[in-house]
Structure 1
Amino acid sequence: MAFRDTRIARRLIAPLVAAGMAMSLASCAARPASDDAAAGGSQSASTGSVAVFTPSDGVTLSGDTPLNKWTKFVPELTAALKKAGVAKKRIETTSSDSLDKQSRDVQDFVVDRVSATSSGDAAATTIVIAPVTSPDDTVRQYGDYVDQQVGSSSDGTSGTSDDQTLQDAESRLRSALTLARENGMHVVMLAGSLDGFRPDVYVRMSTAEEIGRVQATKMVDKLDLEKASTDNPKNIEVLLACTPASGDDGNAEACADGDGAAFAAETFRGAWSVLQPYFKSGQAVSPSGTLDKDTGSDDWRSVAFSSAEDDDVAAQLRERLSMDGKGKPQTHTRIDGVIAMNDHTAALVAKELGELGYTGSAADINPSITISGIVENITGKKDLQRDKVPDPIKAPEEQAGTTDADGQKAADEANSRWPIITGYGAYVDSMPLIVSGQQWMTALEDRAALAQDTATVCVKLNAGETVSRNTLSFVSPGKVDGVNVPTVSEDLVAVSASNLKTALIDPGYITPADAGL
C-alpha cells in the first residue's frame, strides 16, 4: 500500500487500528526479554523488526569527506542489529534526499505495517529515523550527525513554495510517526528532532556546544593553560565561520539570522565555557582583541565571520594576525592556538599559516615528540610520552629586551612557531595533517558505540522492556522539544597523532593509507 496522504490513510485503516493495537500490545506482553538477547544473544521472536530511515549523505562544499556519514552509520547499525538477533529479512533501510520524500517513505511503511498487523502478520516493530534537516553550507561542514531540528534552515527565505512543501512534509512525518506509536510501534530518533513529536528514545550524536567544548578542553590541556603566566600568556584565536545571507556584503552580522546562527552561537558557548576563566585571569589573550576578559558566553559575533569562499578564511586569519600575506613577512604575530571549529576551516588555516611563514608543527610544543615518533606510534612500534614543557615566566621579547639584536631574533623565531590547531569532523583529507602535526586534533562521534547502543535499544523496545538509566548505562534523562525522553549518548572521540591508530585505524574507520602512511 502506498497512501500519499495521512488523512486518507487514517480513514482507510481506521477499522484495523483497534485490532492492530490489541494484537501489538498482546505481542509485546507475550515476549519475555533478556539482557542476553539485547547484547547479541540467540535470535528470537522478541527481537522483532527494525526499519531505519536516514538522510542521503550531505556534501561539503570543499569535497572533503568527514567520517560521520550516514552511509557509514547504517551498515554498522545493521550489523549490530543482526548480532543482537534481529533477522536480516526484518531489517529495512531507506535513505531519502529530502524531508518530503522521507515523510512519504515513512508514511508508506507505517500504513503497510498497520495493515500487516491487522491481518495477523505481526511483529514488534521499531522505527529508527534520522530526520532530514536543512543545515546551511557551513553547518554541513561539521558532518551529517550534528543535532538539528527538522525544518532548520539558514537561507532566510519565507513564504515560498519550498516553505509550504517543507511544512507539509513536517506535518506528514509527524502524523505518520504518531500513527505508528498509536499502533504499538516504537520510534527512535537519531541526531534530530521534530517539533510536536515525542519519540520513545532519542539518540544524541553531537551538539554544537559539545563540538566547541571538546576543542577548547583539548586546547587548554595541550597548552597547559593552568600553568601559564600572566606575564607570558598564551595567544589564542577562535575562528567561527558561518554562511553569509543572500546578498551579504561580507559583514559577520549576516550570520545573525536563521538556525546556522544558532548553531554558531552554541558552538562558541561550548568553547567559551572552557576558555573564559583563562581570559579573565589573563593567562590567555587574543592577538586580534576579538576576545578579552569581558567577553560573555553570548558574544559569539565577536569571533564570527562570513565565509562564502575558502579565501575568506585566509583573509580572516591574516586580519587577526595583522599580516597582509604579501611575500614573506618581516615579523610574525605570536599565535599559540587556533580553534578552527571544523576540519575544513582547520585545513585552510594550516595552509595560510604556511604561506605566512610560520614553521614547525604541533609536535614542537613538546620536544620529546618527533614526527618520526608519531609515525612509529601510529604503526604500533612506539608509545609517546607527553610531558609538559614549562613556559618561561616572561615572554621572549621581555627577557631579551627589544634593543638586543640576538634577543629580537629569538623573539621573532618564537613568534613564528606553529600553533596548536583544532578541528572537528575527522575528515579523511585531514589525516595527513594530523600525522604531520600541522593540525593538532580533530574529533568525531563514537559511531560504532552509537550503532551498538541503538541496536540494543531497538531489541529492548521490541521485547517490551523499559529503556532507562536503570537498565542501560548509556541512557540518561534528556529532553526533546522540551519533553522528557530517555536519551542515548556517548562521549565524543578526540583524535590526535598519539591515539590516531587506536581511535581510527584499529576500528577500521580509516586505513594507514588514508593517514598518509
Structure 2
Amino acid sequence: MLSRMTALCAAAVAAATLAACASPAAEPGPDSGEEPRFVGSAAIFTPSDGLTISQRTPLNKWQALVPELTDALGEQGFEGDAVSTHTSDSLDRQSRDIQDFVVDSIADESVEAGDITLIVAPAVEQDDSTRQYGDYVSGEVAGGDAADDGSSGDGASDGEASEGGTDGDGTEETDEETQAVQRLVSALNLAKDSGMRVVLLSGTIRGFAPDAYVRMSDARRIGVIQAQNMVDKLNLDGTSPDNPKAIEILLPRDPSADDDADDDADEESGDAASDGSASDAEGSADEAADGSGAFAREAFAGIWEVLGPYFREGTAVSPSGLLDADTTQDDWRSVTFVADSDEAIADELTGRLGMEDSQTHTRIDGVIAMNDYVASAVTDRLAALGYTGTSADINPSITISGIVGNIAGQVDLQKEAVPDPIKAPEEAGDETDETDIEQINSRWPIVTGYGAYLDVIPQIVNGQQWMTAFEDRKTLCQDIAQVCARLALGQSLDGLDCVTQGDVDGVQVPTVTEPLVAVSASNLKETLIDPGYITLADAGL
C-alpha cells in the first residue's frame, strides 16, 4: 500500500498546487453571522471507546463526542452528508483507514482534496490505569520519525529492530506498531501535501505537525485541578504548621508495568552518576519512566507543583510518611501503587493510615484519589473503617440539605473558608480529652477524583466524595468546529479566545485548550445537569 501512496505523490503535489491556486480569498466564516459559506467536507477518525477494568463509565467517551462534534460542524456550514465518521480499535487499523481514505480521495477525480478536513484522534493505546481517567487523555504516538521503508532512520543495520523495537518475543508486536505509526505519518503528510487540513485531537504524533491541535486531558492538568481544589477546600493558605492538614496521594500505576524497569533505571542512574555522567543518569530514569509510569510521573508533577509548598512549610503532612518537606517531583514512585481492584485500593488506604490492626483512627483531612474509580473504593473503605460525616461537615456553612436544594435550583450555595484551630487538639492542653481527639480524627476527609463517572455522582451529592472533574466536551466540540471552518476558508485562528500557539513535535501549532471543569455539590447543577451531561435521576435526585 505504501508503494501505491508513493505512486500518487506526484498527483498529490499537483493537486496541492491546483488547490492553492484555486483557493478563494479569505471570506467571513459561518460564525460571523453572515450567510454560511461552503466549507467542504470533514472526516472524523476516533478510537473505539476504552473499557475500564471496573466497567464503570467516565463521562468523557469518544462515542459521546462524535455526534456532538458532527452537530457542531453542521452549525459551522459542513453539510450533514459531507461529514463522515470512522472508528478504529487500534492504531494499526486506524492508520490503514486513514491511508485508504486519503489515497482514495486523491484518486477520485470528483473530489477536491483541498475541500477536505481531517479530524483525527490518534488511537493511542492506554493501559488499564490511564483508561480510568476517560478516553480523552492526551498521549504521544511515538516512532513516526522512522523512514517510510521501515528503517529506523538512525543507522540500524538489517536484522536490527527498528526504532521502538525490542529483542525477543516483543519484537514482532513492536514492529507492527512502528509500521502503523509510519503509515499514519505518511498518510497524514500526504493529506497535507494534497491540500487537506489536518486537526489532531488529544494525542500528538512524533514526526507530524498538524494544522491545529486540540489539547484535551493530560496527566499534569488532572493532578493540578485536584490539588488546587484540595488547597481551596482545606484552606491550606490559612493553616498553621502547629495544626497541619493530613493529606494522602493515591497514585495508581499500570498493573502490567514491569517494576524491574524502574529498578534497572535506578541502577543505571547510580552507575552513571558514579562515572560523573549526571545527564546519562537522568536520561535512564526518564526512559524507564516513559515505559512504565509516564502518566503517574506527570500527574504527580502537577500535584506537587501545587501541594509541594505546603509540605515544605509544614502546613500539610502525610500520615503514611511517604511525603515530607524534602519530597521533590522526582519522588513520584513513592506514592504509586497497583490499583487493579477495589480490594487493592482499599488495602492501600488502610496501610497508608496504619489501621490494619488498629481501631484507633488516624487523622486524614484529604485524599487525592486521582480518578473516580479509586475514589469510589476509597470512600467505601473509609466507611468500613468507621470514619463518619461527609465532606460537607468540614465546612459548617454547607449542609447536605443545602446541597440538595442547590442542585434542585432552589437555593444558592456559597463556600466559605474552613475554620480550624491554630494548634492541633492533642497539643492544645488538658481542655481536649482523648474522646474529643478520636472524634476529630475520625472525621470524614475530602476525597477528590476525576472522570465524572455516572455512578459516583450520587456520592458527590451525599458528600462522600468532594469533587470530580471532566472535559467540557460540548464547548470543545464548538471550538473544534469553528477551527475547522476557519481553516477551510483560509482564515486565521488568531482571533479565537480558545487558541494559543503550542509546541507540537517541535513546531509552533495553533492549539485549542479549554479548562478542565471541577465539579462539587456546590456547582453540580450548573456544570453537569443544566448543560445536559446528566439528568437529575443520574444524580440520584
TM-score (norm 2): 0.88
Is 1:203 the counterpart of 2:214? The answer is yes
Distance 2:179 2:110 in 1: 30
- Which residue of the partner structure matches residue 512 of structure 1? 536
**Letter of the structure 2 residue corresponding to residue 98 of structure 1:** S
- Which residue of the partner structure matches residue 273 of structure 2? none
Q: CA deviation at 1:298?
A: 1.5
Q: CA deviation at 1:413?
A: 0.2
Equivalent residue for 1:101, pick from 87, 93, 98: 93
Equivalent residue for 1:32, pick from 14, 26, 30: 26
Equivalent residue for 1:60, pick from 25, 45, 52: 52
Is the 2:406–2:522 Cα contact (8 Å) retained in structure 1? yes
- Which residue of the partner structure matches residue 288 of structure 1? 320
Inter-CA distance 253–492: structure 2 relative to 1 (3 Å threshold): farther
**CA offsets 1:467-512 (integer angstroms, 9 cap, x no match):** 2xx3211111111123221111011100000100110011111111
Is the 1:50–1:126 Cα contact (8 Å) retained in structure 2? yes
Distance 1:215 1:502 in 2: 19
Is 1:342 the counterpart of 2:371? The answer is yes
Inter-CA distance 252–418: structure 2 relative to 1 (3 Å threshold): farther
Q: Secondary structure at the match of 2:329?
A: coil
Inter-CA distance 252–496: structure 2 relative to 1 (3 Å threshold): farther
Is 1:302 the counterpart of 2:329? The answer is no
Q: CA deviation at 1:40?
A: 6.9
Is 1:171 the counterpart of 2:165? The answer is no
For residues 496-511 of structure 1, the aligned pairs below 5 Å read 496-511=520-535
Q: CA deviation at 1:287?
A: 0.8
Equivalent residue for 1:332, pick from 358, 361, 373: 361
Distance 2:32 2:476 in 1: 14
- Which residue of the partner structure matches residue 126 of structure 1? 117
Equivalent residue for 2:347, pick from 315, 332, 336: 315
Distance 1:488 1:298 in 2: 30
Distance 1:415 1:293 in 2: 23
Q: CA deviation at 1:234?
A: 0.5
Q: Secondary structure at the match of 1:113?
A: helix
Q: CA deviation at 1:93?
A: 0.7
Q: Secondary structure at the match of 2:330?
A: coil
- Which residue of the partner structure matches residue 251 of structure 2? 240
Q: CA deviation at 1:258?
A: 4.3
Is the 2:395–2:419 Cα contact (8 Å) retained in structure 1? no
Q: CA deviation at 1:27?
A: 3.5
Is 1:361 the counterpart of 2:393? The answer is no
For residues 458-473 of structure 1, the aligned pairs below 5 Å read 458-467=484-493, 470-473=494-497
Q: CA deviation at 1:101?
A: 0.8
For residues 391-406 of structure 1, the aligned pairs below 5 Å read 391-401=420-430
**CA offsets 1:225-283 (integer angstroms, 9 cap, x no match):** 0110111010011110112346769x999996544501100000000000011111111
- Which residue of the partner structure matches residue 385 of structure 1? 414
Q: Secondary structure at the match of 1:160?
A: helix
TM-score (norm 1): 0.92
**CA offsets 1:408-443 (integer angstroms, 9 cap, x no match):** 100000000000000111111110111011110011
Inter-CA distance 99–157: structure 2 relative to 1 (3 Å threshold): farther
Distance 2:113 2:246 in 1: 63
Q: Secondary structure at the match of 2:538?
A: coil
For residues 216-235 of structure 1, the aligned pairs below 5 Å read 216-235=227-246
Is 1:142 the counterpart of 2:133? The answer is yes
Equivalent residue for 1:493, pick from 500, 505, 517: 517
Distance 2:264 2:529 in 1: 41
Inter-CA distance 50–304: structure 2 relative to 1 (3 Å threshold): same
Is the 2:113–2:195 Cα contact (8 Å) retained in structure 1? no
Q: Secondary structure at the match of 1:388?
A: coil
Is the 2:248–2:318 Cα contact (8 Å) retained in structure 1? yes
Q: CA deviation at 1:140?
A: 0.7
Inter-CA distance 39–113: structure 2 relative to 1 (3 Å threshold): farther
Deviates more, 1:297-306 or 1:287-296: 297-306
Is the 2:253–2:336 Cα contact (8 Å) retained in structure 1? yes
Distance 1:202 1:308 in 2: 33
Distance 1:157 1:428 in 2: 43
- Which residue of the partner structure matches residue 477 of structure 1? 501
Equivalent residue for 2:402, pick from 373, 384, 406: 373
Inter-CA distance 84–190: structure 2 relative to 1 (3 Å threshold): same
Inter-CA distance 252–286: structure 2 relative to 1 (3 Å threshold): farther
Is 1:70 the counterpart of 2:62? The answer is yes
Q: How many pairs align? A: 498
Q: CA deviation at 1:164?
A: 1.8
Q: CA deviation at 1:336?
A: 0.3
- Which residue of the partner structure matches residue 92 of structure 1? 84
Is the 1:40–1:85 Cα contact (8 Å) retained in structure 2? no
Distance 1:231 1:444 in 2: 35
Unaligned runs of 5+ in 2: 144-163, 266-284
**CA offsets 1:14-37 (integer angstroms, 9 cap, x no match):** 453343123311333x153214x1
Q: CA deviation at 1:400?
A: 4.4
Distance 2:133 2:464 in 1: 19
Q: CA deviation at 1:322?
A: 0.4
Q: CA deviation at 1:87?
A: 0.6
Is the 2:414–2:522 Cα contact (8 Å) retained in structure 1? no
Unaligned runs of 5+ in 1: none
